[in-house]
Chain A
Amino acid sequence: MSDKPADLADLEGAALPPKLARGPWATAFAKLRSDRAAVAAFILLLLIVAACLAAPLYAGDVSGTDPFRSNLNGKIEIEGKKVPVMQPSTTGLGLGTTPIGPTWDIGPFLLGADNQGRDVMARLLYGGRNSLLIAGAATVICLILAGAVGLTAGFFGGIVDTVLSRLLDVLWAFPIYLLAISLSIVLIAHGIEIGPISITSGSLWLPIWIIGIVYVPYIARPIRGQVLSLKESEFVLAAVGLGVPAGRILLRDILPNVTTTLIVFVPLMMALNILTESALSFLSIGVQPPDASWGTIIQDGQTLLYTRPMVALAPGIAIVLTVLALNVLGDGLRDALDPRSKLRIRQG
Chain B
Amino acid sequence: MLTAILRRLGQMAFVMLGISILVFLIFFATPGSDPASRIAGRNASPQTLEAVRQSFGLDQPLPVQYAIMMKRLFVTQDITSFVNRGYRVIPAVMQAAPITLSLVLGAAILWVIGGVLIGLIAAATRGSLLDKGLMVVGLIGISMPVYWLGEVMNLITQSRLHDTWLFSWVPTLGYKSFSVDPWLWFKTMVIPWFTVAVLYAGLYGRVLRASLVESLQEDYIRTARAKGLSERRVLLRHALRTSLITFVTLFGLDFGALVGGGALLTEVVFGLQGIGKLTFDALQNLDLPVIMANVMYASFFVVAANALVDMAYVVLDPRVRSER
Contact = CB atoms under 8 A, between A and B. Distances in A.
Given A173-B306, A178-B295, A306-B159, A319 B145 contact: yes
A324 B139 contact: yes
A339 to B, nearest CB: 14
Chain B: interface secondary structure?
Answer: helix
Interface in A297-348: 298, 301-302, 305-306, 309, 312-313, 316, 319-320, 323-324, 327-328, 344, 346-347
A169 B280 CA distance: 27
Interface residues of B, number: 66
B291 A189 contact: no
B140 A320 contact: yes
A40 interface: no
Nearest to A272: B142
Interface in A157-200: 166-167, 169-171, 173-179, 181-183, 185-194, 198
B15 A170 contact: yes
A190 B32 contact: yes
Residue from B147, B257, B291 whose CB has the most chain A CB atoms within 10 Å: B147
Nearest to B162: A306
A322 to B, nearest CB: 8
Interface string B262-287: 10110010000000000110011010
Nearest to B262: A177
Interface stretch (A221-229, A246-254, A280-288): A280-288
A316 B145 contact: yes
B61 interface: no
A324 B22 contact: no
Contact of B151 (A186, A302, A328): A302
A334 to B, nearest CB: 12
A285 B280 CA distance: 10
Nearest to B23: A182
Contacts of A175: 256-257, 259-261, 298-299, 302
B243 interface: no
20 contacts: A1-B213, A166-B18, A173-B19, A173-B303, A175-B261, A176-B257, A176-B261, A182-B291, A187-B30, A191-B32, A271-B143, A284-B284, A302-B151, A305-B159, A312-B148, A313-B152, A324-B143, A327-B142, A327-B143, A347-B249
The list of the 7 closest CB pairs from A to B, nearest first, reads: A175-B260, A177-B261, A170-B18, A190-B33, A316-B148, A323-B143, A324-B143
Given A320-B143, A328-B139, 7 more contacts: A175-B299, A178-B260, A298-B151, A316-B149, A316-B151, A327-B142, A346-B253
Interface of B: 11, 14-15, 18-19, 22-23, 26-27, 30-33, 37-38, 42, 126-127, 139-140, 142-145, 147-149, 151-152, 154-155, 158-159, 203, 207, 213, 217, 246, 249-250, 253-254, 256-257, 259-262, 264-265, 268, 279-280, 283-284, 286, 288, 291-292, 294-295, 298-299, 302-303, 306
